[in-house]
Amino acid sequence: MKPMGPIPSGYEGEEGMLLIGGCGAASLVDEAGDTPLFVYDMARVERQIAHFRDAMPAAVHLHYAIKANPYAPLLERMVGQVDGFDVASGGEVTMALDAGMAPDRISFAGPGKRDDELSVAIHAGVTINLESEGEARRAIAVGRAIGKLPCLAIRVNPDFDLKGSGMRMGGGAKPFGVDADRAAALARAVIDAGAEWRGWHIFAGSQNLDSAALIEAQAATIALAARLSEAVGVTPPLVNLGGGFGIPHFPGDLPLDIPPIGAALEQALDARPEILKGSSFAIELGRWLVGEAGVYLTRVVDVKDSQGERFAVVDGGLHHQLAASGNFGTVVRRNYPMAVANRFGDPVAADPVTVVGCLCTPIDRLGDKVALPPVEEGDLIAIFLAGAYGASASPSNFLGHPAAHQLLLG
């Protein structure tokens, strides 16, 4: 038996059936038409947003990084509840605009922006978080060509690390952002070129469960933003402090403690240097907002034994839920939390079962030797933490199976 991560708190069963947003898993499958199915519970997302607002200083804006889950009905609901969207491609700029987010509340980061993507963003009035000197030159040229002033911020590759991050995205040589020691000179050049200066974007890492590490990184971020702004001599309209709030995935992971982060940030902002007194501040979050609100439901097609090991073969797989197979940004494969949705709370079987997807590759393993109630053909397997980096972050064209259904509740 190999352990699995903790099922997010608040998921319960009724007469042995897992409830999602108060509805039984099997009836949700009927409503959607078939498995495999992603169900997203908007009420859970709203509870996370409320938790953030309670814990963080009122002046700190909350941005949603839509790459975590760009499902259109979800984006439409997010528009009224967060203060901005952070996007990472021209396609996501369009999704954010289509959802109804105001262009001046959208910022566009990400390496390798092509001229046509810059053009869409500049035309709409979306802020571009510049990733390099070359991108700054092209953005200014595109703005001139289409007769529109570009709104430009600079993404800074910080000169510090967010310690203990699942994915490190700052510190050292990185394809993201402009090295901190060159950022002020670039800002000066952008301002001198007549662009509308929007400020700094400093993102140091992702999937962090250590509030002390996040507190330290936020303090370092504010100090860096102040130092750069003083070198430029201009107060930045916005300082995007990054995000990095993680959720528990694996055995031993504990939920991130938010109130101490809010208290420390309030103190750090109260004591911030003069040059940042007129700035706004934002935190950008993806998985922390939506990850625990999603459940992936997939049906057992076959149960088979091989050399003493039991396999449950399901109709889904890594083509929808790559992350649960351990092939999306993890070094060691570990089990996501999962359950038999129609035997929720039943005693586990004497022997573990390995849950595999329907793809003809050995990496399509959703649960390795997990302790579940006895699994039969037709059962529904629920894989939790499916609200972020699921449907849109998986290779859905691989092997020609149909796309997963998606359903937003609430």
Q: Which residues here bind ligand PLP, judged by CB under 6 A?
A: 65, 67-68, 86, 88, 109, 203, 206-207, 243, 284-288, 388
Smallest distance, ligand PLP to C-beta of residue 88, A: 6
Distance CA(258)–CA(208), nearest Å, equals: 12
Q: Which is nearer to ligand PLP, 65 or 74 (CB)?
A: 65
Q: Are 253 and 6 in contact (CB under 8 A)?
A: yes
Phi, psi of 148 (to 5 degrees): -135, 135
Smallest distance, ligand PLP to C-beta of residue 320, A: 18
Q: What is the DSSP letter of 345?
A: T
Q: Which amino acid is at 185?
A: A
CB within 8 Å of 287: residues ≥ 6 apart: 68, 206, 207, 245, 246, 247, 387, 388, 389
CA-wise closest residue to 9 among 255, 312, 224: 255
Give me the torsion for CA of 111, 112, 118, 120, rounded to 10°. Answer: -100
Smallest distance, ligand PLP to C-beta of residue 373, A: 32
Q: Which is nearer to ligand PLP, 287 or 299 (CB)?
A: 287
Distance CA(58)–CA(262), nearest Å, equals: 10
Smallest distance, ligand PLP to C-beta of residue 364, A: 24
Smallest distance, ligand PLP to C-beta of residue 52, A: 12
Q: Are 394 and 366 in contact (CB under 8 A)?
A: no
Smallest distance, ligand PLP to C-beta of residue 54, A: 19
Q: Which is nearer to ligand PLP, 202 or 408 (CB)?
A: 202
Tell me the residue nearest to ligand PLP as measured from the CB.
286
Smallest distance, ligand PLP to C-beta of residue 227, A: 21
Distance CA(208)–CA(224), nearest Å, equals: 20
For every residue of 87-130, DSSP letters joined together read E-SHHHHHHHHHHT--GGGEEE--S---HHHHHHHHHHTPEEEE
